[in-house]
Amino acid sequence: MTTATLPARDQVNPSDCWDLSSLCQDDASWEAEYKKLDDQIATYETYRGRLGESADVLAEALTFDSQFDRLAERVGTYAFLRTTEDQGNSDSQAMKLRFQNLAVRAGQAASFMRPELLSIDETRMSELAADEKLAPFRLQLERLLRYRPHTLTDNEERLLAMQGEMASAAGNAFRQLNDADLRFGEIEDHEGRKVELSHATFGQMLISPDRKVRRKAFHQYYEQFSSHENTLAATLGGSIQRDVYYARAKNYDSSLQAALFPDNVPVDVYDNLIGAVRESLPNVHHYLDVRRRKMGIDQIHHYDTYVPILSGVKKHHTWDQAVNVILESLAPLGSEYVGVLEAGLRGRWSDRYPNRGKQSGAFSCGTFDGDPYILMNFKEEVLNDVFTLTHEAGHSMHSWYSARSQPFEYYNYTIFVAEVASTFNEQLLTDYLLKNAADDNERAYLINNELDGIRATVVRQTMFAEFEKITHEMAEAGKPLTVATFREIYRELLVAYFGPDFVIDEELERECFRIPHFYRAFYVYKYATGLSAAVALSRRVLEGGKQELDDYLRFLSGGCSKDPLDLLRDAGVDMTQPEPVATTLERFRTLTEELDQLI
């Protein structure tokens, strides 16, 4: 029996690798561009103390800063992508580290600009901003000046900045414990092989067809979190207290408002999401009961919720076949979208297959001047990799449209809308595959996949979002955050979201201690709003005509030229209302009914 080994990077066919020449022609060209950036850092100092002098000086300073950032984006992205090709390549790692050092030095040199602009008298700033020379930067300045009420005196801001390393202590401690110190032992998989249990293999064990393997992995994994729950409660509590402290110091009404402020998102959007999901929880409970019945088990536990109900469906796609399916599914987006994407995917936008040392997973990396590159580790026998490819292609086309429609200052879209274009593509792929399913089993498999995606992205992330809201409000009210309170809050949420007939194992109460996103609070709700917007927009485009398509393509072209809620509203979905989330969960309900009838 032979063992398959991954090829070394230099053994991979160049046509299967991305071509980074749109960023830098080669490493020698990168060196020249790097030196140019290095030489320009000192120019920042020539503007210190002069930003309020005149519109000419301010426009010149902002233009220089923009041009510096534009070149730095190319240089930094080239170095980063080179490291992902082979993480054992020391030359690439050195390029990345050198750029990171340059970026830190440039950040320090430019650090005076923001506080100096905010210190300019409001009347004077209005006069400067009204000058036509500053027209390209007007929105940029308006967004910066929104922070006036939340900007302290120079000395106060300096003291807050000096606390940065202390403020990250709780998160750093969690990461060290979670990523380095926890050991989960070995476990035997369904084929009798000994496997080291880790964060990565835990997910693999939860989709094992053998329930005994899933159960053992679940209990063995959570033993470690039980053993360290006091430490984990302390780190999570410390992170929450940090959020509360900074929100109060910066004059925000709450830590939630502080987190939503950069995107100009009202707290109502957050609350509407929770309310809409809460209202639809009976449909989630119904799906879990359908899953229990179709799996032929008397009781359903958390370790029964990830394995596909139907595991016998096999699909095989070569790269070109996957591209064909994706392009056919995206035909509703028009000839320009499909044509550009086809040239990129059949050309050299993507680094297609695994090789030794290559970064795992997948991502899209778009820039203003370069191609919107896609890293894949494509496997022909894994249907989910086709979904991953269309997902990343959605990001890339979002970057492509925005870079060609907006100036550099406003092309880069925010995280709030980042997942819309990618999950929109997944919706179109699902719609296409369902229409072309070979039989009821394949259709049921696809529906099950869609249901689990909505449950994981909308329902689960909203439960996380509600946990963050409750715990931060407790801290703001001076209530203690202990192991007992964390577990009590989390269990109440588990019962509400999974339903009265779902078995909540005691270990699951400790799930709140292992979620890295909780150390970057009030972020996960964007996954839920992003998919909800994508579902609503995909239905709108599929059921509409030219106007609906034009609205969506205009959204892709918008970059950050408007606030994210305004971009989505112009595309046809109002995220300040509960309807988009309700539409997604209504789709969840109807698909559950169909799944129940199919199998």
Just list the catalytic residues: 392
Residue 257 sits at φ, ψ, to 5 deg, of -60, -40
Report the C-alpha dihedral over residues 451, 455, 458, 461, rounded to 10 degrees. -150
Cβ atoms of 518 and 404 within 8 Å: the answer is: no
β-sheet bridge partners, residue 57: none
- DSSP class of residue 253 equals S
- DSSP class of residue 331 equals G
CA neighbor of 113 nearest in space, from 42, 61, 150: 61
The alpha carbon of 90 is separated from its chain's Cα centroid by a whole number of angstroms, namely: 29
CA neighbor of 373 nearest in space, from 393, 355, 357, 356: 393
Cα 559 from Cα 408, distance rounded (Å) = 9
Instruction: Give the number of other Cβ atoms within 10 Å of residue 198's Cβ.
Output: 15
Beta strands in 82-240 (DSSP E): 186-188, 194-196
Exposure of 428 by Cβ count < 10 A (0-12 exposed, 13-18 middle, 19+ buried)?
buried
Q: Output the CA torsion sign for 256, 165, 363, 374.
A: positive
Cβ atoms of 526 and 413 within 8 Å: the answer is: no
Pairing of strands 350-351, 363-365: unpaired
Cα 218 from Cα 216, distance rounded (Å) = 5
Instruction: Report the greatest alpha carbon distance in the chain.
Output: 78
Three-state DSSP string of 416-456: HHHHHHHHHHHHHHHHHHHHCCCCHHHHHHHHHHHHHHHHH
Cα 245 from Cα 242, distance rounded (Å) = 5
Cβ atoms of 368 and 408 within 8 Å: the answer is: yes
CA neighbor of 425 nearest in space, from 552, 319, 316, 524: 552
Cβ atoms of 419 and 395 within 8 Å: the answer is: no
Token pair for 411: 């092309």
Token pair for 36: 């140019």
As a residue count, the chain comes to 599
Contact residues for 6 (Cβ-Cβ < 8 A; gap 6+) = 354, 355, 356, 358
Helix 415-435 to helix 564-571 angle (10° resolution) is 30
Instruction: Give the number of other Cβ atoms within 10 Å of residue 344's Cβ.
Output: 21
Cα 69 from Cα 43, distance rounded (Å) = 13
Cα 501 from Cα 281, distance rounded (Å) = 13
